């Protein structure tokens, strides 16, 4: 085909034609990897699209998609596009009121969902007045007794579509052919650290141009294998599992269940992999915990070779000169440690790995790169169809986010905020012209809301913090909470940290322990505990946290600009911050303002000089019920360090 | 069932058929001790039938009579409209009755998958030699049995522990694996001996959900013993109440709840 396809369905037709017998999707079901070729996917999508037409789906209608990553739900998105309608994937774990808002806002007439849980939520969220008139489900379990006036199984819709093929195919093909680059490809809700989620509209041009450029950047081909396990409502998953997959023609593999992700990862051995830092952190923590339980010889071997890997691994990966002796030792390490470890982690075949969304700890980053895994960072957002900057091979560092992606222009305004313009820039926020105008100017420049700067010499972008989070301390010093939080979170024992201090004399912090890491540590040290709350307030845990905070303070003190951000006092929270309680976004980002308000009593106690605080907190269970937890938290004073050069003396 | 004359549909849309198992005048003695005294009740096709009662009431003995572990001195067991002669437990199992145990009885050293596969033992007929060289019938049988077992693994959502040795699992999951093994036999009648004993609220809710789903989706008739009254009243269609080996109540959860004898047995107070 000489012309560039102008829509996802057009790419599907191209793939079915060109590489029809190559695998497009795999899913593990009943213990076996089931697989579909591009030709089969084209047929499945067509059958579903015909069925949707039969149900009366009109051009421009919105269709909600919700559920865990399954091939059928990806097909549903493309089938909806074939009908000229708009797929709206939503977070499957969202609370009912969030879903209600999105349903109402996008006015969806149909939904394609995974199972009973999603059906229940949508039924609760929709109410009677909503335009939602048809729900299509994959897993019939538990739904037999439901009123089927509004409910149809995926298979039945496909069957109706196949039966009506002769009648409806001309109409379907007409609609698919009418799609242009400027038509809507998908609508995605941003998670929003503040306020209501916004519906970002991305056009076919956005998705196709971005996918094309990013595939070329990393030389992705039809031979790649990826594992789709991140939420389908997230722009990254849409780009990786649909945009790039359809552009390059590679295979998207879906795990058997959310709990089997690690096993499935190992079985598939993806060549191209994306994960937010927390996934890499968890994997590393698990490895370390298991090594603690290993025999002494194994542990010694592991320590010896991992030390070597940290030292020379990244250089070998980047092709920098390394002594022959070191290379040889690395080869032996590959044989006895790195190879088996990569196999256990599912990274044996990995060619390109990305992490984004949050800063990643340098030691975590070096761990994976030391093993020979080409892990890189990118910086992006929904409004950019993901890519703003990314790291080219061999120019990878943990503290930058790379250079502008192909086709992206970047500028930084005098306040330090990062702006970009690219073919991937979103069309608009749905039904929200004011926000659109606030974010995107007439020339197409988009404000990221992040403060950053270009590093001299390398030209790599460094992100400091959310622009609106960066503030001033009462003493005039710069306050960059994210910077401090990231440093704290690099400790495996700290899951989450929230730092406050804007307009105050000093900074204070809330910490969450990582139950996995701290629990294991407690077990090894014979520390008994009955609950998360009890463990979090254990004197030895508090002591450990004091050490961690002191270490972070010491490192912050060396930065002249940010030395005021040292944490003077902190508490270890009695509950884990949770998206269900509104404390995190669905993509697990901290909502500082919400947390500050919700735990105002604790914050007051931190600044009020008290030693402990009794608090009651409302928690929301997964099914929407609410409960109260009560706790008395001990407030901790942290060691702080004088600025800059005097650090040495202070430490002595 | 042939006896469809008195089948009916429940409020939640399940069809309850005719009598599947009928116990008539069962008396079970251990030496001089009468564990069960002249008890009669029936279990109908498609229902969830609970047996409740205080400790030592004879509930487990009753279940053991049904599963063929004990042979009662008096009384008759009618299964599928036929009087059942004294049987060994494996014969009862082959006739379509499967059970779980109060104290989990799994093979700790074997994986979850292998444990559940043992539930299919009655459906494996290949000889020893065929099994060893794993050709022909042996291979076909294993593939088919594995496919059925995988459906059950999917149904009970235990894919993530498929290869894990049972000994390493927490209690709640072991119970679920035991249920899976019983289901692997594709029983017509499933006997559950305290499926929720020792569980926390969340695990109980999960287990209740699975029991209801098994009954609903697979159409399996279920008889269960349970201590947690809340659970019993929520999920059963009919309840038999036992006390000191006697039957003191029988009926729907509501009927049983208002039965004065039952209140006495459970609360131990006299009423006027």
Structure tokens at A149: 């006036």
d(CA A97, CA A157): 29
Residue B184 Cα, gap to closest chain A Cα (Å) = 14
Residue A620 pLDDT: 80
Q: Name which of A30, A142, A144 is nearest B154 (Cβ-Cβ).
A: A30
d(CA A582, CA A595): 8
Residues B178 and B210 sit within 8 Å (Cβ to Cβ)? no
Residue B22 pLDDT: 94
Structure tokens at A140: 């019939």
pLDDT bin (cut points 50, 70, 90) of residue B263 is: confident
d(CA A163, CA A433): 43
Mean pLDDT over residues A18-22, rounded? 96
Q: Which residue of A has its CA nearest to B15?
A: A145
Judge whether residue B3 has pLDDT over 60.
no
- Domain edges within chain B: 1-96+188-272, 109-186
Residue A651 pLDDT: 36
Phi, psi at residue A198, to the nearest 5°?
-110, 140
Residue B230 pLDDT: 84
pLDDT in tens, A383-431: 999 999 999 988 888 888 999 999 999 999 888 899 999 999 999 999 9
pLDDT bin (cut points 50, 70, 90) of residue A20 is: very high
pLDDT bin (cut points 50, 70, 90) of residue A193 is: low
Mean pLDDT over residues B148-168, rounded? 93
Domains of chain A: 18-179+218-274 (3.40.50.12780), 277-466 (3.40.50.12780), 471-651 (3.30.300.30)
Q: How many residues does chain B have?
A: 272
Structure tokens at A171: 């109409």
Residues A573 and A635 sit within 8 Å (Cβ to Cβ)? no
Mean pLDDT over residues A135-139, rounded? 95
Residues A51 and A75 sit within 8 Å (Cβ to Cβ)? no
Across the beta sheet with A428-429, the strand order is A184-189, A199-203, A428-429
Residues B2 and B18 sit within 8 Å (Cβ to Cβ)? yes
Residue A531 touches chain B, beta carbons under 8 Å: no
Specify the DSSP element, H or E, that contains A98. helix A96-106
Residues of chain A positioned with their CB less than 8 A from the CB of B154: 29-30
Residues of chain B positioned with their CB less than 8 A from the CB of A256: 159
Phi, psi at residue A52, to the nearest 5°?
-65, -40
Mean pLDDT over residues B176-205, rounded? 91
| Nearest to A385, CA basis, from A214, A225, A584 | A214
CB atoms B155 and A257 under 8 Å: no
Residues A401 and A461 sit within 8 Å (Cβ to Cβ)? yes
Work out the mean pLDDT of chain B and round it to a whole number: 88
Judge whether residue A644 has pLDDT over 70.
no
Phi, psi at residue A27, to the nearest 5°?
-145, 135
Listed ranges A55-64, A585-594, B222-231; the one with the highest mean pLDDT: A55-64
Least confident of A324-338, A623-637, B41-55: A623-637
Mean pLDDT over residues B37-62, rounded? 92
CB atoms B217 and A144 under 8 Å: yes
Least confident of A21-30, A356-365, B5-14: B5-14
d(CA B174, CA B188): 23
Residue A79 pLDDT: 98
Judge whether residue A377 has pLDDT over 70.
yes
Residue A194 pLDDT: 61
Mean pLDDT over residues A81-90, rounded? 97
Residue A260 touches chain B, beta carbons under 8 Å: yes
CB atoms B159 and A259 under 8 Å: yes
CB contacts under 8 A, B 137-156 vs A, are: 146-147, 150-151, 153-155
d(CA A102, CA A23): 34
| Nearest to A194, CA basis, from A435, A356, A491, A524 | A435
d(CA A538, CA A550): 18
Mean pLDDT over residues B216-222, rounded? 91
Least confident of A103-112, A214-223, A576-585, B30-39: A576-585
CB atoms B162 and A145 under 8 Å: no
Dihedral Cα A138, A143, A148, A153, nearest 10 deg:
20
| Nearest to A404, CA basis, from A395, A413, A368 | A395
pLDDT in tens, A336-357: 999 999 999 999 999 999 998 7
Residue B252 Cα, gap to closest chain A Cα (Å) = 21
pLDDT bin (cut points 50, 70, 90) of residue A645 is: very low
Say which residue, A589 or A348, is predicted with more confidence.
A348
Q: Which residue of A has its CA nearest to B13?
A: A145
Q: Where are the alpha helices (DSSP H) in B81-136?
A: 89-94, 112-118, 128-133
Listed ranges A417-421, A482-486, B138-142; the one with the highest mean pLDDT: A417-421
Q: How many CA atoms lie within 13 A of A128 on its CB side?
A: 0
pTM given for the model? 0.85
d(CA B133, CA B153): 27
CATH superfamily entry for domain B1-96+188-272: P-loop containing nucleotide triphosphate hydrolases (3.40.50.300)
Say which residue, A512 or B7, is predicted with more confidence.
A512
Residue B106 pLDDT: 92
**Residue environment code for A537-549, b if the CB has 16+ CB neighbours within 10 A, otherwise e:** bbeebbebbbebb
Best residue in B14, B152, B160, B170 for a mutation probing chain A (most A CBs within 10 Å): B160
Least confident of A482-491, A521-530, A563-572, A617-626: A617-626
């Amino acid at each position: 085909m000489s012309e560039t396809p102008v829509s996802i369905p057009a790419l599907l037709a191209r793939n079915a034609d060109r590489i029809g017998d190559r695998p497009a999707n795999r899913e593990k079901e009943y213990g076996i990897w089931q697989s579909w070729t591009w030709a089969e996917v084209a047929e499945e999508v067509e059958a579903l699209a015909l069925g949707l037409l039969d149900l009366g789906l009109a051009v421009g209608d919105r269709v909600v998609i919700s559920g865990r990553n399954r091939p059928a739900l990806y097909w549903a998105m493309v089938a909806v596009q074939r009908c000229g309608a708009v797929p709206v994937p939503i977070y499957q774990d969202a609370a009912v009121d969030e879903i209600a808002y999105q349903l109402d806002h996008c006015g969806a007439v149909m939904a394609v969902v995974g199972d009973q849980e999603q059906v229940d939520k949508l039924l609760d969220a929709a109410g009677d007045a909503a335009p939602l008139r048809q729900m299509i489900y994959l897993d019939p379990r538990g739904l037999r007794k439901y009123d089927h006036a509004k409910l149809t199984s995926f298979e039945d819709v496909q069957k109706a579509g196949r039966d009506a093929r002769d009648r409806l195919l001309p109409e379907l093909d007409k609609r698919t052919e009418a799609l242009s680059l400027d038509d809507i490809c998908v609508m995605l809700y941003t998670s929003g650290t503040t306020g209501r989620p916004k519906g970002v509209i991305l056009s076919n041009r956005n998705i196709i141009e971005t996918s094309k450029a990013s595939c070329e950047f990393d030389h992705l081909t039809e031979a790649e294998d990826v594992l789709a396990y991140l939420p389908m409502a997230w722009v990254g998953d849409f780009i990786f599992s649909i945009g790039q997959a359809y552009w390059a023609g590679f295979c998207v593999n879906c795990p058997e269940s959310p709990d089997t992700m690690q096993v499935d990862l190992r079985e598939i051995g993806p060549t191209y992999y994306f994960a937010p830092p927390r996934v890499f952190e968890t994997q590393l923590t698990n490895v370390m915990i298991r090594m603690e339980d290993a025999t002494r010889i194994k542990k010694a071997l592991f320590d010896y070779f991992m030390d070597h890997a940290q030292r020379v691994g990244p250089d070998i990966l980047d092709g920098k000169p390394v002594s022959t002796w070191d290379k040889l030792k690395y080869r032996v390490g590959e044989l006895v440690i790195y190879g088996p470890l990569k196999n256990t982690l599912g990274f044996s075949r990995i060619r390109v790995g990305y992490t984004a969304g949050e800063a990643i700890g340098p030691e975590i980053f070096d761990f994976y790169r030391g093993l020979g895994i080409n892990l890189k960072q990118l910086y992006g957002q929904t409004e950019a169809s993901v890519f703003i900057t990314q790291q080219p091979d061999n120019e990878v560092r943990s503290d930058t986010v790379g250079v502008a992606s192909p086709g992206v222009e970047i500028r930084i305004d005098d306040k330090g905020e990062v702006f970009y313009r690219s073919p991937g820039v979103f069309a608009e926020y749905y039904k929200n012209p004011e926000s659109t105008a606030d974010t995107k100017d007439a020339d197409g420049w988009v404000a990221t809301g992040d403060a950053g700067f270009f590093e001299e010499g390398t030209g790599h972008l460094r992100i400091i913090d959310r622009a609106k989070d960066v503030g001033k301390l009462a003493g005039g010093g710069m306050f960059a909470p994210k910077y401090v939080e990231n440093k704290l979170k690099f400790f495996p024992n700290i899951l989450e940290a929230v730092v406050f201090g804007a307009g105050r004399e000093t900074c204070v912090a809330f910490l969450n322990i990582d139950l996995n890491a701290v629990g294991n540590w407690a077990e090894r040290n014979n520390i008994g505990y009955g609950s998360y709350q009890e463990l979090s307030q254990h004197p030895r845990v508090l002591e450990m946290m004091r050490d961690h905070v002191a270490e972070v303070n010491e490192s912050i003190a060396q930065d002249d600009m940010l030395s005021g951000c040292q944490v003077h006092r902190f508490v270890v929270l009695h509950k884990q911050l949770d998206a269900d309680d509104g404390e995190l976004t669905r993509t697990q980002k901290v909502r500082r303002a919400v947390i500050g308000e919700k735990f105002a009593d604790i914050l007051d106690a931190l600044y009020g000089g008290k030693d402990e605080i009794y608090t009651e907190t409302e928690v929301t269970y997964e099914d929407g019920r609410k409960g109260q937890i009560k706790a008395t938290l001990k407030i901790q004073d942290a060691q702080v360090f004088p600025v800059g050069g005097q650090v040495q003396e202070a430490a002595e | 069932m042939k006896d469809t004359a008195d089948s009916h549909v429940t409020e939640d849309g399940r069809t309850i058929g005719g009598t599947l198992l009928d116990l008539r005048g069962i008396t079970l003695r251990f030496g001089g001790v009468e564990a069960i005294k002249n008890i009669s009740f029936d279990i109908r096709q498609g229902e969830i039938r609970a047996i409740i009662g205080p400790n030592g009431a004879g509930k487990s003995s009753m279940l053991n009579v049904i599963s063929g572990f004990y042979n009662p001195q008096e009384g008759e067991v009618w299964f599928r409209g036929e009087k059942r002669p004294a049987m060994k437990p494996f014969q009862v199992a082959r006739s379509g009755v499967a059970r779980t145990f109060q104290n989990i009885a799994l093979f700790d050293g074997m994986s979850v998958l292998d444990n559940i596969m043992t539930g299919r033992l009655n459906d494996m007929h290949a000889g020893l030699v065929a099994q060893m060289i794993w050709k022909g019938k042996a291979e076909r049988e294993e593939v088919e049995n594995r496919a059925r077992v995988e459906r059950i693994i999917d149904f009970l959502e235990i894919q993530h522990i498929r290869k894990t040795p049972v000994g390493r699992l927490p209690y709640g999951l072991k119970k679920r694996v035991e249920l899976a093994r019983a289901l692997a036999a594709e029983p017509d009648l499933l006997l559950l001996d305290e499926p929720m004993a020792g569980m926390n609220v969340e695990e109980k809710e999960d287990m209740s959900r699975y029991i209801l789903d098994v009954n609903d989706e697979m159409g399996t008739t279920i008889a269960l013993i349970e201590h947690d009254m809340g659970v019993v009243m929520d999920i059963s269609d009919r309840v038999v109440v036992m006390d000191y080996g006697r039957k003191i109540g029988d009926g729907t959860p509501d009927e049983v709840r208002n039965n004065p004898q039952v209140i006495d047995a459970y609360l131990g107070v006299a009423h006027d």
